[in-house]
Amino acid sequence: MKKILLILLPVLLVAAAALYVWREPLKEAAYARLTEGMFVAQDTDDFDPGPALGSRFPGLRARYQGREITLIEEFAGVNGTVFVASRSLDWCPYCMRQMIQLQANSAGFAAAGIGLVAITYDSPQLQQAFIDKFGITIPVLSDNNGLSFRTLGILNDQYQPGDRQFGIPHPGMIVIDPAGVVVGKLFLEAYSSRVDSAAALAFAKTALGLD
């Protein structure tokens, strides 16, 4: 028995070391498989939380770069803003992949004069780790105890205080015109789906009357 253990121990140590070395590539591969097919071309369901179309976009209670954020005008483009509500950039693979795709297509929003700004319930420290890893330049706000999501009417009330996911929003996008009026929304009931960034840009341009 001891001889078997002596033989197995080095094998187990090598396997553990290999898993440690390859943990990130393995995790990325698992995320890629999990999120395969997550993007859709349009919002086709009746799920529609958030501020009503034609209403003014309400204030926030969020943090950004060490300061309190209550308004989003500083993130607006000349033609309007797309406000991206996301669950987590720390543990939600769908949110991570969406943010990476939005970053890859952010030049298209900028060329259309549309500002992009995102918000999650993650702490600024967790957000920064993701931002640094993937070179995200889109401003990412940190919600304050779910207050912004409550004000916006997009807080996911499935979770209660003490739950890891308490404070997350229903993920989606809100399109705001230069006057601060909500002119479009993209929310899917399935948290595992997102509207593709190119389709979202086309939707935003139409909602803002840029086509």
Q: Based on the fold, state whether residues 95 and 140 are members of the same structural domain.
A: yes
Q: Based on the fold, state whether residues 29 and 77 are members of the same structural domain.
A: no
> What does the pLDDT average to over 19-31?
60
Query: What is the structure's pLDDT at 14?
Result: 61
pLDDT at 115 over 70: yes
Domain that holds residue 51: 39-207
DSSP reduced 3-state for 30: helix
pTM confidence score: 0.87
Q: Based on the fold, state whether residues 108 and 192 are members of the same structural domain.
A: yes
The answer to whether 79 touches 114, Cβ cutoff 8 Å, is yes
Measure the CA–CA gap between 43 and 172, rounded to whole angstroms: 10
pLDDT at 66 over 80: yes
Q: Based on the fold, state whether residues 13 and 105 are members of the same structural domain.
A: no
The confidence band for 125, taking pLDDT boundaries of 50, 70 and 90, is: very high
The confidence band for 29, taking pLDDT boundaries of 50, 70 and 90, is: confident
The confidence band for 30, taking pLDDT boundaries of 50, 70 and 90, is: confident
| The total number of structural domains that make up the chain | 2
Tell whether the torsion through CA atoms of 170, 173, 178 and 183 is positive or negative: negative
Residues 6+ apart with CB under 8 A from 49: 153, 154, 170, 172, 187
- What is the Rg, in whole angstroms, of the alpha carbon atoms belonging to the chain? 20
> What does the pLDDT average to over 147-167?
95
Q: Based on the fold, state whether residues 126 and 29 are members of the same structural domain.
A: no
Q: What is the DSSP letter of 177?
A: -
Query: What is the structure's pLDDT at 71?
Result: 96
pLDDT at 157 over 90: yes
Q: Based on the fold, state whether residues 20 and 60 are members of the same structural domain.
A: no
Q: Write down the mean pLDDT value for the chain.
A: 91
Q: Based on the fold, state whether residues 160 and 193 are members of the same structural domain.
A: yes
Distance of CA 43 to the CA centre of its chain: 17
Query: What's the length of the chain?
Result: 211
Task: Lowest mean pLDDT of 22-26, 42-46, 82-86, 107-111, name the range.
Answer: 22-26
Q: Based on the fold, state whether residues 89 and 16 are members of the same structural domain.
A: no
